[in-house]
Amino acid sequence: MLASGQGLCYKTERAAFRPGLIIISISNMKRVEKMFRLSEKGERIQEMFNSIAPRYDFLNRLLSLGIDRRWRRFAVRQIKFSENGRILDVATGTGDVALEIASRTPESVKIVGVDFSKEMVELGKAKIRNSPHAERITLEVAPCEAIPFAEESFDSVTIAFGIRNVVDRLQGLKEMQRVMKPEGRVVILEFSTPRSRIFKSLYYFYFLHVLPVIGGLFSQFSAYKYLPDSVLEFPSRDDFKALMVAAGFRNPRHHDLTGGIATVYVAEK
């Protein structure tokens, strides 16, 4: 586990990238390099996201019928920020949430995005360069389990459709809590299962049988088979809120969206 503390300046090295290996430099008068290695499962997930990155945005819009944009807007409305503050978006992917945050906060607020997929980050950087918010958003390659920033650096931390891909979820949540300022807020958007029995049956049919086939036509079938599998094994709403408490968050609550297809979890430090 990486050491953390006030006064440390973290940055991700742009070294030769190897799947599963992320090099983080920590400087405090001198430079020290640490290596964080993903688990075997984490490496497989990382490689999968690298491979589907070019079609990721298109398939998100197609498979969700565009509803994912509305979910992200709702999640971003829950964040806290201050003048000249900073917001961290974990598992930023191609930067959709980072851009949404920039569009809804003052010019003085800076946004940082991190993701363990180098290919996703490179696509996100290109998208951000072509946006009106290029001067406010920076993206780096880093995993949720080892966020490369000092304690109490951010007003809010967000993660959209990413926490289910974190192999060590408790460690990931602890890292998000560590880099948040006191009274800061975490906002987590994730897929969930509908509560209505009829709606759940329709949802499962689409999620388990239709979605992988459509995804496979444009990208990798295995990647879009992984998506429903990862959602179905995700903890229940109450169990996940208990995990947030175990990581040090206070007052966790949730908001179900679109009949419970997606859920936004909110808590404070």
Total domains, the chain:
1
When pLDDT is averaged across residues 30-58 and rounded to a whole number, the result is 65
What contacts 148, CB < 8 A, 6 or more positions away? 10, 11, 12, 24, 114, 140, 142
CATH number at residue 145: 3.40.50.150
Q: Is the pLDDT of residue 17 over 60?
A: no
Which structural domain, as residue segments, surrounds residue 114?
40-268
Residue 40: predicted pLDDT: 74
pLDDT for 215: 67
Tokens 């975490």, residue?
Answer: 186
Residue 129 — pLDDT band, cuts 50, 70, 90?
very high
Residue 79 lies in a domain: yes
Q: Is residue 192 part of a domain?
A: yes
Instruction: Check: CB of residue 152 under 8 Å from CB of residue 182.
Output: yes
Q: Give the pLDDT confidence of 88-107 residue by residue, as tens digits.
A: 999 999 999 999 999 999 99
**Does residue 149 lie in a domain region?**
yes
Residue 128 lies in a domain: yes
Question: Of all helices (H) and strands (E), which one includes residue 109?
Answer: none
The reply to whether 35 falls in a domain is no
Position 124 scores a pLDDT of 94
CB burial class (10 A; 0-12, 13-18, 19+) of residue 132?
A: exposed
Which two three-digit tokens encode residue 99? 């851009």
Query: Given pLDDT bands bounded at 50, 70 and 90, which one contains residue 47?
Result: confident
Question: What percent of the chain lies above the pLDDT cut of 70?
Answer: 80
Asked if residue 241 is part of any domain, the answer here is: yes
Q: Is residue 26 part of a domain?
A: no
- What pLDDT, in 10s, does the model give residues 155-166? 999 999 999 989
The answer to whether residue 5 scores a pLDDT higher than 50 is no
